[in-house]
Amino acid sequence: MLYLFGNCQSGFLADALAHKGHPTTFRALASPLTYLTCGGTVPASLRETAAWPGIEPFFHDRTIQNQCVMISEADPAPRLFLINLFHETVPLFLNEPEKHAFYVDQAAFDFSPGFKELLERRYRAIEPNPDTYLARFGDMVEAFRARHPETPLLILGRLSHFPFFGPEPYSYLACWEKVFSRAGPLLAEWAAGLPHTAYIDVDRVFAGIWADTEQAIEAHCPFLRVRPGSGPRPVFRRDLEHIGSLWGRLADMVTSFLKSGRLDYGPNQTPPALWAGQPRAPERLGRERLRSLLSSGANYASGRAVAAFFSDPDTDHTELLAEAAAAMPVCHHTLHMVRHYAGLHKNPSLLVWISAQLKKIAAFTGNGPGYQRLYENRLREIARNVTRHI
């Protein structure tokens, strides 16, 4: 069994490995601090807290077992461990007398009466310092390595914030923007000093993908994080967390490692000098290309189209969203972009898309009731905004 730990990046890779026939388990983590403070076991008082009726969906797969133990003797024998540099989910809740911390989504307060009062009696909310994340992550990996010393362990890095990947690359790991330029070599050297451990350089893996696929960052990382600017136009950052083309290539690399015990990089897996240069101009897509992407039914393709809307701010593309409403999937990254686009073009035609999305999210239970409620609320907020001027 291959065990992958971390956030969605390990989850995407787990899916790709399973598709290649490897028995694989993904376990979501909340913060290195939960594993470190629990000492590899679930404290009895925390087990009691986590059993409060109605809160289980609000761990969002970050079960108490995952947060505190990760893997137990009762699990199938491991063939490989992989841990990615995952962002921390905050706030955590700290039991000061016992010194253990855990995560649960505060949305649980609205669904489980009395749970908020229980937490306030036993815990206080904390947010670990982002600047000390790498030290926490390293301590967690070393503690895990000491408890499971023989199984090979891979550390999965992150894509660096090369300027060419603009506008202004964005990572959900709060410290990455400050440390990416020096973190890779340091992490590789640290991992090499641990038994049976190696570091996967995502920059090199992505360079290989870039060399033999479409050389446009939008094809790989289409989603934009949008926020209001000081003027009439919003400010954009490119999401480098969700890289659609990466997971299959990483799965091939892990498969090769399982056979050889080595991480081998090819001659084309060197980041090109172009990446260190100026950001490329955002792509502009014609109407038929936009229609094709939106109607594809794929998250990344439809997200790429919506992101391209912003490159042509004087043209209202809302009608294209209405046309493709039935095909477009539930995707909170695309929803985020549509929400801001609706602020630029308050077009009531968007109500067709909103209506279709409301029906889809009502049937989308995979991320739990808190996710559904937030998604529905965002859709209704957009609907109010685009109809307010009528």
- Domain coordinates in residue numbering, the chain: 2-215+244-274, 287-387
Output the CA angle 225-163-204, nearest 5 degrees: 100
Residue 167's SS3 state is coil
* Amino acid at position 286, single letter: G
How far is Cα 94 from Cα 97, in angstroms, rounded to an integer?
9
In this prediction, residue 233 carries a pLDDT of 80
pLDDT the model gives residue 390 = 53
pLDDT, one tens digit per residue, over 340-349 is: 999 999 999 9
Bigger pLDDT: 113 vs 322: 322
Residue 292 has pLDDT above 80, yes or no: yes
Alpha-carbon gap, residue 258 to 163, rounded angstroms: 34
For the chain, how are helix, strand and coil distributed in percent, rounded to 5? 50, 10, 40
Provide the pLDDT for residue 230: 76
pTM > 0.85: yes or no: yes
Kindly state the helix (H) or strand (E) to which residue 30 belongs, with its residue range: none
Concatenate the DSSP letters of all residues of 59-83 into one string. GTT--HHHHHTSS-TTSPPPSEEEE
- Residue 47's pLDDT is what? 96
Q: Are strands 153-156 and 124-126 parallel, antiparallel or unpaired?
A: unpaired
The pLDDT assigned to 281 comes to 84
What is d(CA 198, CA 54) in angstroms, rounded to the nearest whole number? 40
Question: Quick check: 249 pLDDT over 90?
Answer: yes
Q: How many CA atoms lie within 13 A of 109 on its CB side?
A: 8
Comparing 6-15, 130-139, 147-156, 229-238, which segment has the lowest mean pLDDT? 229-238
The set of residues, in sequence order, having a beta carbon less than 8 Å from that of 230 and lying 6+ positions away, is: none
What was the pLDDT predicted at 368? 83
Asked if 163 and 278 count as a contact pair (C-beta separation under 8 A), the reply is yes
159 band by pLDDT with thresholds 50, 70 and 90: very high
Confidence band, pLDDT 50/70/90 cuts, at residue 148: very high
Residue 389: the pLDDT is: 59
| pLDDT at residue 231, as a whole number | 74
- Mean residue pLDDT of the chain comes to 95
Write the CB contacts of 167 (distance below 8 Å, at least 6 apart in sequence). Answer: 224, 236, 237, 238, 279, 282
Q: What is the CATH number of domain 2-215+244-274?
A: 3.40.50
Residue 52: how many CB atoms within 10 A of its CB?
15
